[in-house]
Structure 1
């Protein structure tokens, strides 16, 4: 009886980790990384052709691109508000805040073809770097 229990114990010791790993892998094969949309992005654990082009981008570069797009689609005020929220929520981005705000200022002048119109969206985000970007582009 004692040997039968040992044999069962050994079998479970070998099989149980394999079962747990496989069930965990199957549980995360579909992970939605974005809000559900028509073009919802889904990451599969077994995907061999996953895109690595965006994986190497720094968070501040991703934030800058997102805010520049938002500035074009909406207005600089919205982008500046989201810049402030991003730096408040993630303090590691604060060191890039001035550069991003300056880029937003330049982009606002390019969008409106007017420093006065771009300047009307100015806010004291990142030591008025937005205004400095507007002035540089003028």
Structure 2
């Protein structure tokens, strides 16, 4: 039995520069690179192509992306719950009276404890609005222990 003296074929190994039939050569590296880069290139080129098409039917050169950005910036932002409640109660004070608005403020704070930290500012706003509607002395008659003395503070601040 004759043994091979070629070191590259000893123990079943092949030379490093020769690819095996399992594809571990330079072609595999190129294929992996293309597999990573090609989808990114296709997505970017598709996005740019879509952005340049005048979808509105006019021949304006403005891109659709710029028009889309303008539309989103003009939409009203969602309002905080305390702002919605304050506006609702101020409207209620104008349509009915301050007593009803204060009662509904207390019910809202009892129903949603997260509104408690905003109760004083809402009650002060109601006090100022009551002074405008009723005058200082009549507005003070609606005062209740809702949110401590914030309604009365609003009435006092609304006098000047």
Q: What TM-score range do you get, normalising by the shorter chain?
A: 0.5 to 0.7
Q: Structure 1 residue runs of 4+, over 3 Å off?
A: none
SS at match of 1:83: helix
TM-score by length of 2: 0.52
Q: Report the aligned-residue RMSD.
A: 1.4
Distance 2:103 2:81 in 1: 18
Distance 2:95 2:149 in 1: 22
For residue 87 of structure 1, what is the aligned residue in structure 2?
109
Distance 1:127 1:135 in 2: 14
Q: Residue 122 of structure 1 is aligned with which of 120, 139, 143?
A: 143
Aligned residues between the structures: 86
5 Å-filtered alignment, 1:59-98, equals 59-98=81-120
Shift of 1:128: 1.2
- Ranges in structure 1 where 5+ consecutive residues have no aligned partner: 1-51
Higher radius of gyration, 1 or 2: 2
For residue 43 of structure 1, what is the aligned residue in structure 2?
none
Give the structure, 1 or 2, with the largest relative contact order (CA under 8 Å, sep 6 or more): 1
